[in-house]
């Protein structure tokens, strides 16, 4: 009888450990899927523009805030500015801010009213030729009296490159790589 009890106890213990290991393995697989699923930037733009009933996107970047990977979208419409943060895995709006523009914003708006000759997508393609990786932030700025796309790229070797692309002619102005 002792032998049967010992065998049964061992079987229950081994079965329990196996089930626990399986559950942990299965759980980690589902967590990996949640972290790697990302909506496209175009979808994030659509979500943000729907929330604001249109407007002009002045900046969009993929960032991590409080451990959540999210798109941060800046939109101007009329005399208002909107900041829309969108969860990159679910597409849900995390945060929404609306503000009236002030004097400093008008200066920036003048810059935004100057139309770049090349699109942001063209500037990104050009930047990725200079620094291979994943784009994590884009800005349209004025530097030395010229319109410039600033494109931040996370490189495969875990560094960050900032590529400045002339918004008029599409030429690379500079490439800075952080160590």
- Give the range of the structural domain holding residue 106, as residue numbers without chain letter: 37-112
Q: Are residues 121 and 164 in the same domain?
A: yes
What pLDDT is attached to residue 62?
A: 81
Q: CATH number of the domain at 76, please.
A: 3.10.450.40
Helix or strand run (H / E) with residue 80 = strand 80-87
pTM of the predicted protein model: 0.44
What pLDDT is attached to residue 89?
A: 93
Closest CA to 99 of 116, 77, 120, 132: 77
Domains of the chain: total:
3
Does residue 47 have a pLDDT over 70?
yes
Q: Are residues 105 and 156 in the same domain?
A: no
Q: Are residues 66 and 78 in the same domain?
A: yes
Q: Are residues 31 and 41 in the same domain?
A: no
Count each helix (H run) and each strand (E run) in the chain, helices first.
Answer: 4, 8
Domain boundary among 89, 112, 135: 112
Does residue 49 have a pLDDT over 90?
yes
């Amino acid at each position: 009888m002792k032998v049967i009890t010992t065998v049964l106890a061992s079987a229950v213990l081994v079965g329990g450990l196996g089930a626990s290991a399986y559950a942990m393995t299965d759980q980690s697989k589902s967590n990996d899927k949640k972290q790697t699923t990302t909506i496209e930037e175009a979808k994030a733009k659509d979500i943000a523009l729907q929330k604001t009933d249109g407007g002009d996107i002045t900046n969009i970047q993929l960032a991590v805030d409080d451990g959540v990977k999210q798109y941060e979208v800046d939109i101007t419409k009329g005399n208002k500015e909107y900041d829309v943060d969108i969860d990159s895995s679910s597409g849900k709006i995390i945060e929404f801010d609306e503000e009236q523009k002030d004097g400093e914003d008008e200066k920036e708006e003048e810059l935004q009213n100057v139309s770049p000759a090349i699109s942001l997508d063209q500037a990104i393609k050009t930047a990725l030729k200079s620094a291979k990786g994943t784009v994590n932030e884009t800005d349209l700025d004025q530097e030395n009296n010229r319109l410039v796309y600033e494109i931040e790229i996370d490189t495969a070797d875990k560094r960050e490159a900032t590529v400045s692309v002339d918004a008029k002619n599409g030429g690379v102005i500079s490439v800075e790589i952080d160590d």
